[in-house]
Amino acid sequence: MQSQTSHPPHNKLRGFKPTIAVLAMLSLAILLLASQEQNANAATSAILPAGHTWEYTFTDPTGDSSWTTTSGTGTGGWTTGLAPFGNGGPGTLLDPGTNWPVGTSDVIVPIDSTKDIRGATPPGVFSVALPAGTYELTVAAGAWNAWDADNDLNNGVLASATGCPGNPDGSGCATGWLTTYAVRSAAGTQALEGNGTFETSAQALAAVSGRYSRHPADSGNS
Amino acid sequence: MSVRIRSDDLWVRTAIDLSNVDLSSVAWGLGVDNGYKLYANGTFIGIGNAEFYTHRSEYSGDFDGVLTQGVNTFAVALEDHGGATAFDMEITGVVNVTPPVVEASVDTDTL
């Protein structure tokens, strides 16, 4: 009897064993399902999708390095626009959401109206000090005195010519006009090279007019 | 002689909340005509420059541990060399990485 009286708890436990096993299996099943769901959620997705809204500016903000760590519009030319940015030109990402025009500004900074590169080494190469940025350097109004590095210039007037004697208009000279210079600059003094030589100033100006100058490394389409 | 400052460069930035994102899974891809410098939270990530046409996956990479849980700032300096211009960027990653809490209990009083 005692053994019997002591049996009920065992009997009760025995009676609930299947329930515990079922609960354990259900819990395991739930965990497995949750794990599968988690795996399904683990798929890579676009956190910042194409066509996102960006803050943008055409005014160089790099003078203050905090432009890479802050956000906000209203100052520094910052405003918001939808990507893609572009001008819809051939080969660009289609249907730009925000216009990214090309062109040069009207900001023209005189460097030296009569830069004389006679004696430059190597010939046709000289240096100017520039802050960091991208520049187009061009001859102003064709009044470039370095028509020929071998020529003797007197206040910009050709006094004698050793490279093309007898041709004061420059035709037939070996070096020709040095017309357009370009550099994508780091801060400091940069060496600039002419990217074209022409027999006459008219040819030089015609070649410069209406086109961007390019660094020699940038040759080709863009 | 004069220097004319080119005006066709562009700077863009955005801030994104990466809470609940597996930061180690975050990757980026962008296309630009012609060049870019990418920063994340002020840290330089990458640079590229190429002529010819672009596509959205022209450049790609990860963020090498510079991201943090919460809001992150992404900034890109863009440059164009004339002609066509273009830029777009995508950032991907695994979200919802926190496993769901599952509670199961057994009433031991009934045992």
At residue A120 the predicted structure's pLDDT band, cuts being 50, 70 and 90, is: low
CB contact under 8 A, A38 and B100: yes
Do A23 and A55 fall into the same domain?
A: no
End-to-end CA distance of chain B: 97
Residue A220 has pLDDT above 80, yes or no: no
Q: Chain A residue with minimal CA distance to B10?
A: A58
Do A199 and A134 lie in one domain? The reply is yes
A200 lies in the same domain as A157: yes
pLDDT above 70 covers what percent of chain B? Answer: 79
Residue B61 pLDDT: 96
Residues A144 and A213 in one domain: yes
| Of A76 and B89, more confident | B89
The SS3 assignment for B97 reads coil
Please name the residue that has the structure tokens 């053994």: A3
Determine what percent of chain A is predicted with pLDDT higher than 90.
13
Rounded-to-integer distance, Cα A120 and Cα A126, Å:
6
- Indicate if A30 and A61 belong to the same structural domain: no
Q: Can you give the residue range of the structural domain that contains B26?
A: 10-97
Is residue B107 included in any domain, yes or no? Answer: no
Asked if A67 and A15 sit in the same domain, the reply is: no
d(CA B90, CA A94): 15
Q: Which amino acid is at B42?
A: G
- B1-51 pLDDT, tens digit each: 455 555 578 999 999 999 999 999 999 999 998 889 999 999 999 998 877
Nearest CB to A102 within list B14, B31, B83: B83
For residues B45 and B61, the answer to whether their CB atoms sit within 8 Å is yes
* B6 touching A (Cβ < 8 Å): yes
Q: Do A111 and B55 touch (CB under 8 A)?
A: no
Determine, yes or no, domain membership for B59. Answer: yes
**Residues A47-54, mean pLDDT to the nearest whole number:** 95
pLDDT for B69: 94
User: Pick the residue with more confidence: B110 or B101?
Assistant: B101
Number of domains in chain B: 1
Residues A29 and A72 in one domain: no
Q: Which of A14-18, A108-112, B13-17 has the highest mean pLDDT?
A: B13-17
Min Cα separation B87/chain A (Å): 5
CA angle centred on A213, ends A211 and A217, rounded to 5°: 135
CATH classification at residue B37: 2.60.120.260
Residue in chain A closest to B108 (alpha carbons) equals A20
The answer on pLDDT for A200 being more than 60 is no
Report yes or no on B108 lying in a domain: no
Is residue A117 in a domain?
no
Check residue A31 and give its pLDDT: 55
Domains in chain A, number: 3
The confidence score (pLDDT) of residue A137 equals: 56
Do A19 and A55 sit in the same domain of this protein? Answer: no
Same domain, yes or no: A59 and A29: no
- Please tell me the distance from the alpha carbon of residue A38 to that of residue A16, in angstroms, as a whole number: 33
Q: Which residues does A97 contact at the CB level (< 8 Å), separation at least 6? A: A51, A81, A82, A83, A84, A85
Q: How confident is residue A6, by pLDDT bands cut at 50, 70 and 90?
A: very low
Q: Which domain holds residue A7?
A: 2-34
Question: How high is the ipTM of this complex?
Answer: 0.84
User: In this structure, are A74 and A149 located in the same domain?
Assistant: no
What pLDDT score does A17 carry? 53
Answer yes or no: do A6 and A72 share one domain. no
Could you tell me if residue B103 is inside a domain? no
pTM for the whole structure = 0.54
Residue of A3 and A189 predicted with greater confidence: A189
Q: What is the pLDDT of residue B45?
A: 96
Q: Strand A98-99 vs strand A85-86: parallel, antiparallel, or unpaired?
A: parallel
A203 and A133 both lie in a single domain? yes
Closest by CA position to A109, among listed A199, A202, A196, A185: A185
Residues 39-68 of chain B with CB under 8 A from chain A are 39, 41-42, 51-56
Mean of all residue pLDDT scores within chain A? 59
- Residue A93: what pLDDT? 73
Pairing state between β A197-198 and A177-178: antiparallel
